[in-house]
A and B are shown apart, each in its own frame.
Chain A
């Protein structure tokens, strides 16, 4: 039998007089007939106590009541319906989870069901809503980087680690030109004619100069031929990224608010990253935002959520491998290239900072390595590395007081801690926009010691 019947509770069990109508008493108590048993007398004796207030939808329900089997059937029907008519959402959520057994199990179930549902056109309902709202309905973590392979092949690691442009200031100290690192080996360009054949060989070589030995922590120097802002042509700064962009972004907006030649805008999407484009396709989204907002400079904070495998042509690239770092670098190049083609003159990319957790930090180190490699491919990409060779710092001193620099998760900056990335960005901007330098310097937040 599905459910073993539960014997009716006799009135005597409750300590109430024999023959007492339990259901009537329970109803009178406002607790509903489900509350039965030895505790009933306590309930009933306190029925007048106003602390026992239940939701009126439940206590005044006069419609049909259901058996447990019915409830289970109903909930199962709801879950199944929510799944098979929206498999893309389920699959994308599953693949976006951190690597682990739950992700593996859910993905293993969701993938075949998704294929079947697509064949049966069951996703037409959810896809229709997505399309009506102007969103892409595809749920995939594939990221086509073929368009930027040529860029990678043409590039030379001219400046060594983190030296996309002429490198300069250590964070928090005056700008010091740094000589190019000629020790980095040149990238060997694969000669195979097909993209599929040359890509695997290219990726490890792309990141090879950056994968070993922490490079010195330097701030990049922007190109010197950027158009300087004027009253008629203000500098438009678009700050974008994941949740890590919020506090530094807010701070930057305040810092730049008083500079009449600069306009800034912050857009962020929590939980997004380059390992999961189905959450948000940053390449398309950023290009659209740059074009719509006519942005000159893009400041990107992205990577902190990218703690998982990458999907490439149906295959999984495990993290902490050269292939992973190379593929990640290609994606950074692709996003940057899209922003530049949409009209931005430069992209400043802030990598995730040193994290408290060593496990998390291992991912962040990889991402900063990939950013360094991407930096070498595109001249107008400027990478700010706040992780490599930098110790995690929980607190600092501001105006003589000890203040927390990171939130409790050991990743996100606090408001005070945001001054580090925000000031670093302003320092980089000074190099590209010398006409604004005095005002950018004045706008800097107090340095946290």
Chain B
């Protein structure tokens, strides 16, 4: 089920009401919210429910097996088996085609033709997100950072519908305590939660979808058909689109969870205002960054094993982070590029510190922000292009397309891209002040206002419909 749809509006109103009605009865509430989450997930394809249930069973029993013994060897074995099960599911659904086609291509070079079927397996929505949460839970139990939890709690933790299909990636120790007692029905910050939902809705269907449909999709579909200016704006436009699309989704997720009484971690913090690449990754998809840090970078040794090993660890982490996004060489290269960028930046900063200079160098902050933004924006080309050939064609069209007639750049597209990127520069206090003024109105009037806002947005987009969120494919 997509968030910005009529089905979800009806679903959420029903679930919100029943959830608060059942809240004083934790057992009933837990059964109810699991069922609601399964309905949400199985709405598009019932078969996915079996996968989600499998993930819950695997991680619940895995954690129980780890937690029931003090024997380190047994704990390690249980952890390894649970990780294999999680990663096996991920590998089958997400990476089978990639690895088989890559293997077949490699075998072709040696004149070998192994008969491995190349299947196009339907990628279940959000599989990476809930499996990553499962991994974080069992690893935390193994590390004795969090105790073994009951089956119902694990089921809710993995399937809770606001974060189910595209995060944020919530950790057990920040979510499970919220299941310990009923949520308080007396102090819900409704106005900012509603602003998050309405803002996410507008970001997604008013801005991101328009940029995608009118600018980015045509250029990345057929780059040679467009002028340099079209291509340059499409590259810039994709930076705006992916931010608006993904942060819009997580804003809705955080807002809906809040209305149900649950706190989700922040996932975006105005990422294009970052003055360094490291800063960017602390602001972009923050919950994935910390997951990679805690469950990949640190286990690899982090920064505790010398400069060279630290650089290698950063590079490997980003490379695998890239592969997490999708099973193509584009994502691997994109991750590698980010890793190389981070390693270079770290090395330059260390050199400056060694010489007793300021870590940020002599550049004005504005220039640093611009450089980081341009680096990130150009790296997105690899992220968006369906294959490396198209990515190369997009970049080369920047000069090959000089002189071709510009067809995609219109006033409305320019405005939408500018607004999409400019939103991040509006100070948070502006929105907070707006929310405080809005909150002075009676609640029902606030609701009517939000409804009218939705009417305006849906009327503006006409009958275009809602495109799937970009991050659903991951």
Contacts and interface: CB of A to CB of B under 8 A. Distances in A.
Interface of A: 3-6, 9, 13, 31-40, 42-43, 46, 51-58, 60-83, 85-86, 89-90, 92-94, 102, 106, 125-126, 129-130, 133, 135, 246-247, 249-251, 253-254, 257, 264, 266, 269-271, 278-280, 394-395, 400-404, 406-410, 415
Given A80-B451, A86-B459, A246-B217, A34 B184 contact: yes
Interface string B192-233: 111110000000000000000100011001101100000000
B22 to A, nearest CB: 10
Given A57-B431, A58-B263, A85-B452, A92 B463 contact: yes
B10 A79 contact: yes
Interface in B410-440: 428, 431-432, 435-436, 439
Interface string B158-195: 00000000000001011011111111111111111111
A64 B439 contact: yes
Task: Kindly name the residue among B23, B171, B173, B462 whose own CB sees the greatest number of chain A CB atoms within 10 A.
Answer: B462
B402 interface: no
Contact of B120 (A78, A82, A394): A394
Contact of A57 (B6, B121, B192): B192
Nearest to A404: B120
B177 A76 contact: no
23 contacts: A13-B181, A33-B187, A37-B178, A42-B173, A42-B177, A51-B294, A58-B193, A63-B192, A65-B188, A66-B187, A68-B186, A72-B20, A74-B444, A75-B259, A81-B455, A82-B9, A90-B6, A249-B222, A253-B222, A264-B225, A266-B221, A408-B121, A409-B122
B444 A77 contact: yes
Nearest to B460: A129
B16 interface: yes
Given A34-B263, A46-B173, A57-B428, A270 B465 contact: yes
B221 A6 contact: no
B462 A53 contact: no
B118 A82 contact: no
Nearest to A65: B187
Given A75-B447, A92-B463, A266-B218, A55 B108 contact: no
Interface stretch (B97-105, B237-245, B311-319): B97-105
Contact of B446 (A53, A74, A125): A74
Given A73-B447, A81-B450, 6 more contacts: A4-B24, A51-B294, A56-B266, A130-B459, A135-B462, A404-B101
B93 to A, nearest CB: 10
Q: Which 5 A-B pairs have the closest CB atoms?
A: A39-B177, A81-B451, A77-B447, A37-B181, A68-B185
B290 to A, nearest CB: 5
Contact of B266 (A53, A80, A409): A53
A93 B180 contact: no
A90 B454 CA distance: 12
B381 interface: no
Secondary structure type dominating chain B contacts:
helix
Contacts of A36: 181, 184
Contact of B458 (A57, A72, A126): A126
Contacts of A63: 189, 191-192, 435-436, 439
B62 interface: no
B464 A51 contact: no
A425 to B, nearest CB: 15
Contacts of A130: 459, 462
Task: Kindly name the residue among A65, A66, A74 whose own CB sees the greatest number of chain B CB atoms within 10 A.
Answer: A74
B462 A79 contact: no
Contacts of A60: 432
Given A55-B196, A81-B452, A402-B101, A3 B185 contact: yes
B23 A6 contact: yes
Interface in B307-325: none
B447 A254 contact: no
A404 B97 contact: yes
A389 to B, nearest CB: 23
Contacts of A65: 186-190
B286 interface: yes
Contacts of B451: 77-83, 85
B304 to A, nearest CB: 19
A72 B446 contact: no
Given A86-B458, A279-B463, A408-B122, A71 B221 contact: no
A309 B87 CA distance: 42
A363 to B, nearest CB: 18
Contacts of A126: 455, 458-459
B439 A54 contact: no
Contacts of A85: 451-452, 455
A32 B259 contact: no
Contacts of B234: none
Nearest to B97: A404
Contacts of B439: 63-64
A57 B251 CA distance: 11
B467 interface: yes
Given A74-B444, A75-B12, A52 B108 contact: no
Nearest to B25: A4
A61 B10 contact: no
B386 interface: yes
Task: Kindly name the residue among B123, B443, B465 whose own CB sees the greatest number of chain A CB atoms within 10 A.
Answer: B443
Interface string B33-46: 00000000000000
Given A130-B462, A270-B467, A279-B463, A94 B6 contact: yes
B13 A79 contact: yes
Interface string B253-296: 01000110101111000000000000000000010001000100
Contacts of A251: 222
B180 A38 contact: yes
B448 to A, nearest CB: 5
Contacts of B367: none
B171 A51 contact: yes
B387 A415 contact: yes
B218 A58 contact: no
Contacts of A3: 20-21, 23-24, 185
Given A35-B177, A46-B173, A61 B455 contact: no
B454 A78 contact: yes
A76 B447 contact: yes
B432 A57 contact: yes
Contact of B454 (A52, A82, A403, A408): A82
Contact of B189 (A32, A42, A78): A32
A251 B221 CA distance: 8
Contacts of A58: 189, 192-193, 196, 254, 258, 263
Given A74-B444, A106-B6, A408 B188 contact: no
Contacts of B462: 130, 133, 135
